[in-house]
Amino acid sequence: MTEIHAFFSSYPAAFPWIAVLFGLAVGSFVNVTIYRFPVMLERQWRNQSYELLNAGQQPPSPPERFDLAVPRSRCPHCGHAIEPLENIPVLSYLWLKGKCSACKKPISWRYPFVELLAGCLAGLIAWRFGFSMAALAGLVITWSLIALTFIDIDRQLLPDDITLPLLWAGLLLNVFSVFAPLASAVIGAATGYTSLWAVYQVFKMITGKEGMGYGDFKLFAVFGAWLGWQNLPLVILLASFLGAIIGITFMLFSGHDRRVPIPFGPFLCVAGWIALMWGDTLTRFYLQFARISG
């Protein structure tokens, strides 16, 4: 570890580029997680429901094992198993011209987009923090937030299996004050959850509708645990601003039905990542601006 640190200290520009390449590879796994994780949860919930409704009897065995490792990725149109050379991040998509090698049906552009996003954001994290514990932790939460964003877009779901480990990881990291003092992290986790929970309850009491899900509370608590309570106002303001802009844009230009809810999780993910990168700078700028304006 000392030798690795010495290498990156001597060649600081190398770490961001290595992070980009590694991020592209992880992005491929993130794509798998986005698609398979909700399916795995649904199967688990169905099995639990079966056991409850059938006096503890074991549910029928699924036709095949299905998790993040098995089976191999397949074309959704023809079932063609993706070969290793067809699974190189971004390059395979370009080489195949965005089409399945077997049936020639189009492959969604989102696969290379997620890979590029995971690689580029990893490079920015490495550039921002250098080779350090903060950078390694930042890579983990960045890739997790990408997965949460697209799962929420697709399924309106923020799985506890991702948010809760992130919450505990943030608190454990800040035992060593990696991103914030421990006291600030603990208060941030509690404040993040209870503040959105309170907004949810008030909104439901006034309108009779649910304005957000419990996953949003837990995700906001994650950012409190990682960044401390001082960054929570910035996160919620940025998320609300992004949500308002995109929601209005959808209604004006794409005919989005205002009665159909837009998931809030992706806006929290974007805002939380921005706060991770530049939270202190943005907060200082805002306070200075407010002082000048006042």
Read off the tokens for 185: 């992290």
Task: Please state, in angstroms and rounded to a whole number, the distance separating the CA atoms of residues 143 and 250.
Answer: 26
169 with 78, same domain: the answer is: no
pLDDT score for 65: 79
| DSSP secondary structure of 229-282 | GGGHHHHHHHHHHHHHHHHHHHHHHS---TTSPPPSHHHHHHHHHHHHHHHHHH
pTM to 2 decimal places: 0.92
Q: Give the Cα separation of 229 and 191 in Å (integer).
A: 7
What pLDDT shows up at residue 154?
A: 93
- Which of 131, 161, 196 terminates a domain? The answer is 131
Closest CA to 78 of 97, 64, 99, 98: 99
Q: Are residues 48 and 141 in the same domain?
A: no
Same-domain status, 56 and 164:
no
Q: Are residues 74 and 164 in the same domain?
A: no
Residue span of the structural domain in which 153 resides:
132-294
Tell me: do 142 and 123 sit in the same domain.
Answer: no
CB neighbours of residue 17 within 10 Å = 13
Judge if 77 and 181 occupy the same domain: no
- pLDDT in the model for residue 260: 66
Specify the pLDDT at position 217: 95
Domain end (from 131, 156, 190): 131
Q: Which of 65, 97, 131 is the last residue of a domain?
A: 131
Residues 219 and 265 in one domain: yes
Q: What pLDDT does 256 receive?
A: 58
pLDDT at 53 (0 to 100): 82
Residue 254 is predicted with a pLDDT of 67
161 and 78 in a single domain? The answer is: no
- In the prediction, which pLDDT does 293 show? 58
Of the candidates 105, 233, 125, 117, the residue with the CA atom closest to the CA atom of residue 179: 125
Residues 83 and 16 in one domain: yes
Domain count, the chain: 2
- What is the pLDDT at residue 257? 61
The pLDDT assigned to 258 comes to 65
**String of DSSP letters for the chain:** -HHHHHHHHH-TTHHHHHHHHHHHHHHHHHHHHHHHHHHHHHHHHHHHHHHHHTTTPPPPPPSS--SSSSS--B-TTT-PBPPGGG-STTHHHHHTTTB-TTT-PBPPTHHHHHHHHHHHHHHHHHHHH-SSHHHHHHHHHHHHHHHHHHHHHHHS---HHHHHHHHHHHHHHGGGTSSS-HHHHHHHHHHHHHHHHHHHHHHHHHHSS--S-HHHHHHHHHHHHHH-GGGHHHHHHHHHHHHHHHHHHHHHHS---TTSPPPSHHHHHHHHHHHHHHHHHHHHHHHHHHHHH-
How confident is the prediction along the chain (294 residues), in pLDDT tens digits per residue?
677 767 677 777 899 999 999 999 999 999 999 999 998 898 888 888 877 888 767 777 776 777 888 888 888 888 888 888 888 999 999 999 999 988 999 999 999 999 999 999 999 999 999 999 999 999 999 999 999 999 999 999 999 999 999 999 999 999 999 999 999 999 999 999 999 999 989 988 888 777 788 899 999 999 999 999 999 999 999 999 999 898 888 777 766 566 667 899 999 999 999 999 999 888 888 777 766 655
**Same domain for 120 and 175?**
no
283 and 139 in a common domain: yes
80 and 166 together in one domain: no
CA 86 to chain CA centroid, nearest Å? 25
